[in-house]
Amino acid sequence: MIDPDTRDRLISAPESILEDRDLMDALIGANERQMGSNIVDLRGIAMERLESRLDRLEDTHRTVIAAAYENLAGTNQVHRAILQMLDPLSFEDFLKTVAAEVAATLRVDCVRLVLETVQDDHDPALRRLGDVLYIGAPGFVGTYLSGRRNISVRPVVLRQVQPESDALYGDKAGYIRSEALMKLDFGTGRLPGMLVLGAEDPHQFKSTHGTDLLAFFAAVFERTMRRWLS
């Protein structure tokens, strides 16, 4: 028998039972045992199906909320990096900021700006700009983006590093395991460029990840570079 005080409390607040999922499951189970194994409880079956559907809906809800928070955090991260990128007043300081502050904000381990040119990459003026700048021959960007395959080149490519990446990453070669590649258009009459973000984590950049934020970042970087090149 139920204690009289407990019984009175339950009668006065029956919603406390309805809101307790474990208690409701126990009551339903007790009811099914009383009916015996020869009786099919359609109501119980329907409730089990509803509970299963509710569990799936809750999992989906949590997944959507987590994705929304992750997207918001990524957006804020890119916005901060763009503001840092717009601060420098000289091209040399711009590249240093990209290699240091912007890389830290985007949480990457290496940044490379690839420029295609026929100019000698041993020019002292270019060497003074640091390791962030990589000079490639005409056609280097398309070849690197496609991985030497005969495929159409996308504006943003996420992948694990390729064997031919050693020259690009220099002393960081062997440590960088995944990369984000963004093709840059500097305008009519200019050779293309490429912005490279490298990470030691092999799973930081994967082909299944979204590229919208990186495409936006590349577009701002591209326009900033046009100002320096002019």
**pLDDT band at residue 108 under the 50/70/90 scheme:** very high
Measured CA to CA in angstroms, residue 168 lies from 152, 162, 206 at distances of 22, 11, 19
pTM, whole model, 2 decimals?
Answer: 0.68
Q: Where are the domains of the chain?
A: 4-39, 63-229
Mean pLDDT for the chain overall: 82
73: which residues sit within 8 A by CB, 6+ positions away?
none
Please give the residue that has the higher pLDDT: either 94 or 173: 94
Report how far apart the first and last C-alpha atoms of the chain are (Å, whole number): 89
CATH 3.30.70.100 at 63-229, yes or no: no
Measured CA to CA in angstroms, residue 73 lies from 63, 77, 141, 153 at distances of 15, 6, 30, 29
Please give the residue that has the higher pLDDT: either 197 or 209: 197
Query: Residue 103's pLDDT is what?
Result: 93
The residue with tokens 């700048």 is 133
Query: Residue 37's pLDDT is what?
Result: 57
Residue range 208-214: mean pLDDT, rounded = 87
Strand 133-136: give its sheet, edge to edge: 133-136, 110-116, 193-199, 178-184, 156-160
pLDDT at 118 over 80: no
Query: Residue 149's pLDDT is what?
Result: 78
**pLDDT band at residue 121 under the 50/70/90 scheme:** low
pLDDT digits (tens, 9 = 90+) for 1-47: 677 777 777 778 777 777 777 777 777 777 666 665 555 555 666 66
**pLDDT band at residue 210 under the 50/70/90 scheme:** confident
